[in-house]
Structure 1
Amino acid sequence: MKTFFRLVSCGVLMLSTTAVLAAEPAKCQNVRMGVVNWTDVIATSAVAEVLLQNMGYEVKQTSAAQQIIFGGLRDDRLDVFLGYWKPAMDKNIAPFIAANQVKVLEKPSMNDAQATLAVPDYVASGGLKTFADIAKFKDKLGGKIYGIEPGTGANANIKGMIEKNQFGLGGFQLVESGEAGMLAAVQRAVKRNEWVVFVGWTPHPMNINMKIEYLTGSEDVFGPLEGAATVSVVTAPDYATRCPNVSKLMSNLQFTAAQESQMMVPIMERKAPADVARLWLKNHPEDVQRWLSGVTTFDGKDAAAAVQVAVSR
């Protein structure tokens, strides 16, 4: 009888172990991540990648524009995207949400972001403090507003103001460029003490490395509360059902603007994002515990222990 109970107990253990191992199908072991070429998204995506790799997953990052990433989630070519800025990306993601082709996780990964137009502090001191002030200084600004890469919500907002002559901006030109190109142009202007208006946001090292001020009186062009924003994870619509463990990790990833700005500084200084993420995880074990609460490795083991051992080597 004792032998029988031992066999039954072993059988139950084997079934339990098998259930853990079978919690996610083999396809879930390969996580396909969309990444826009913004340093904050690069930083958080690197954190997620390092965590997943040390949990027994394989990660492939694909760098692309927002619309391509949303289309990839719709078409089962991508699984997750850690960079949905709301409201900046609302227009671009709206058709995909309406058609139930993507899913925005309920809890944002960041609550204290901001994105709107900004100027160097000396420009603000010179009188350009609001959106209505921009047109007054058209000559000093060269009639230009510096945006980021084509197709972004921020650029669409600027184009809309120009087309509608909102704030008297009808004669202005939008200069489209990537994040690095825009920042290089702003930094050149600052060195020459020239006037410039550009898309600014936090989290970002620009708030640490440059003295800038955000414009007010935007009339909600960049969203309510002068561009106050949240950042959320977006997945394929059925990803939580198909891959609950990875989805749980994505739901757990919560950052502050201050944290991300700190992560972004070394990345902007050309440090490899994965190396920056590993060092952050090594130096912030409390984040590892928080982010991996209720999460296992792919084979059902303690994820936090596995990651902490890996990053401490």
Structure 2
Amino acid sequence: MRTTFLLTLLSGLAVSPVFAADAPQCKKVRMADLGWTDIALTNTTAQIILDGLGYDASQTLLGLGVAYSALKENDMDVFQGNWRPVQDEEYKTYFDNGWVEVLGVNLEGAKYTLAVPQYVADQGVKSFDDLAAHAAQFGGRIYGIEAGSNKPLLDMVAANRHGLGDWQIIESSEAAMLTQVANSMADKSWVVFLGWEPHPMNLDYKISYLSGGDAEFGPNFGGATVRTIARKGFSAECPNAARLFANLAFDLDYENHGMRMILGEGKSAEEAAREMIKRNPDKLAKWLDGVSTLDGGPGLPAVQSALGQ
């Protein structure tokens, strides 16, 4: 009788998932935000899932350099915007000195470099080296995003690479830059700007990425992977939350369409993130593989319940 009972108990333990709860001090998860729509989508996706697991997640808007400093100084926990290789050189010391740790890759196949409307490319502007000859048509201006994210372009001008030493980098925001692009394209005027994928600009506009920017953004049109990084010690202190971020991987189609909801359909980041999660139940299951609630319960059903699924 006793043997039968023990075998039954052990059999049940063998097939039941074992979850490890995080310590109470892990309840608050602080994520750095740059004001980029892709990070708004991915951060809010993480926040919705973490809240469903019983955590208290938050986002703070920071410049890129400040985000790295905040991780180093333990003022932030997680940053989902480590674009490689474009950030490799400037922030190399953070990784070399162990001030931050890598949790995983959240996107592959991204690109990040200068772009022009297709009608400008059709007139022969296909490379960084083609820009200088058309300075008058471009107004000697390159449109970037928020201060702190345009250093490759600022360094390019300072070094007079591609003959662009007297050009001006217009630093504003993603939204302001895209307004300039939309206005320019409406009247077929010339504009050169910082473009990237994932982004609905790739769905909404006919654009062409410029070659020849390897020194600024790396080969293959700034071909990139995007990693999730954290403050030193985060994965050891909060392994369950860290596992979620390690699992949390997206793709170009997911982000392009989620970002389009925000930028093109007027939805909030939360509305877009919730809708994309509900459209992709298989992704949600993968993201929550081996992840528990804060108090150690099964994670997937808790999040599904919070989402009304």
Give unmatched runs, 5+ long, in structure 2. none
- Aligned alpha-carbon RMSD (Å): 2.1
Residue 30 of structure 2 aligns to which amino acid in structure 1?
R
Aligned to 2:248: 253
Aligned to 1:108, the other structure's residue is in SS state strand
Deviation for aligned residue 1:25: 1.3
Choose from 114, 117, 121 the match for 1:117.
114
Given that 1:114 and 1:228 are in contact with CA atoms closer than 8 Å, whether structure 2 keeps it comes out as: yes
Pairing 1:30–2:28 present: yes
Partner in structure 2 of residue 42 of structure 1: 40
Identify the match of residue 196 of structure 1 among 170, 191, 201: 191
TM-score by length of 2: 0.91
In 2, Cα distance between equivalents of 1:277 and 1:262:
10
Which secondary structure state, in structure 1, belongs to the residue aligned with residue 217 of structure 2? coil
Moved more, 72-81 or 49-58: 72-81
1:271 is aligned to 2:267:
yes
Letter in 1 for 2:124: G
Decide which of 85, 88, 91 is 1:87's aligned counterpart: 85
| 110-119 vs 86-95, greater mean Cα deviation | 86-95
How high is the sequence identity, in percent, across the aligned residues?
39
Equivalent residues of 1:20, 1:299 under 8 A apart: no
What CA distance in whole angstroms lies between the structure 2 residues aligned with 1:144 and 1:137? Answer: 11
Whole-angstrom CA distance in 2 between matches of 1:210 and 1:241: 44
**Does the CA-based 8 Å contact 1:285-1:308 persist in structure 2?**
no
What residue number does 1:65 align with? 63
3-state DSSP of counterpart to 2:215:
coil
TM-score between the two structures when normalised by the length of structure 1: 0.90
Deviation at residue 88 of structure 1 after TM alignment: 2.3
For the pair 1:293 / 2:289, whether they are aligned, the reply is yes
1:184 matched to 2:182? no
Matched, 1:139 2:136: yes
Q: Could you say what secondary structure the match of 1:72 adopts?
A: helix
**In structure 2, what is the equivalent of residue 151 of structure 1?**
148
Once residues 70 and 82 of structure 2 are traced to their aligned partners in structure 1, the CA distance between those partners, rounded to angstroms, is: 14
Match of 2:53 in 1: 55
Aligned residue number for residue 96 of structure 1: 94
Rounded to whole Å, the distance in 1 between the matches of 2:226 and 2:136 is: 36
1:23-60: CA deviations, max 9, x gaps? 42111111111111100011000110011111111111
Deviations 1:51-96 (A, max 9, x none): 1111111111111111211122112211111111112222442232
Conserved 8 A contact 1:157-1:222? yes
Aligned residues: 299
